[in-house]
Amino acid sequence: MSRISSVAAVALAIALIPAAGEAQSPANSSDAPISFGADSGEYVGNTVTLRGRAELIQGQNRLRADSVSGLSQTGESRIQANGNVYFVTPEQTIRGDSAVYTTADDMIVVTGDVILTQGQNVLTGSRLTYNVRTQTARIEAGGQGRIRGVFYPQNSGN
């Protein structure tokens, strides 16, 4: 039974990885300027902290949370998002309790009650590592928990 669950999880993870032609080009996301908004903000040194309906938009990707800190004007940032975190791309929506996005390697790690959706496909766990540039994901379960998912195969020729 656990072998079947493992195979299903791997199949879902593979389904969430787009073909090379579908991946976003760097010009559409990682290298684009970052715009932001929030109910309030603070600018100290070269770092921006946002509170209340904080939102960062870069290309076609959007990060929303109750608070976001660590956005640096000097280039590479380690952005911490807390509370009601959503990371939305044209293909996926990731939800969690907190996240850390590192611009140097285009990785976002979402933790807590994590839900990844792509169309009808759903994957849940406690920690998700997502590469923004390649759109690949790895999900883990914490403690005694398990990852769970629902995978809808695409019709091939029907």
Q: With CA atoms as reference, report the closest residue to 154 among 11, 6, 7.
A: 11
Question: In this predicted structure, what is the pLDDT of residue 34?
Answer: 86
| 156 Cβ contact list (under 8 Å, min separation 6) | none
Outline where the chain has alpha helix (H): 2-15
Is residue 107 packed enough to be buried (19+ CB in 10 Å), middle (13-18) or exposed (0-12)?
middle
Residue 152: phi, psi to the nearest 5? -105, 110
Tokens of 53: 């309906």
Question: In this predicted structure, what is the pLDDT of residue 127?
Answer: 97
Tens digit of each residue's pLDDT (9 = 90 or more) over 73-119: 777 889 999 999 999 999 899 999 999 999 889 999 999 999 999 99
The answer to which of 63-77, 125-139, 143-157 has the lowest mean pLDDT is 143-157
Pairing relationship of beta strands 40-44 and 47-58 according to DSSP bridges:
antiparallel
Tens digit of each residue's pLDDT (9 = 90 or more) over 17-33: 333 334 434 344 667 88
The pTM for the full model equals 0.78
Whether pLDDT at 49 is above 70: yes
Tokens of 113: 């009650």
Amino acid type, 86: Y
Question: In this predicted structure, what is the pLDDT of residue 79?
Answer: 94
Q: SS3 of 2, please? A: helix
pLDDT band at 156 (very low <50, low <70, confident <90, very high): low
pLDDT band at 1 (very low <50, low <70, confident <90, very high): very low
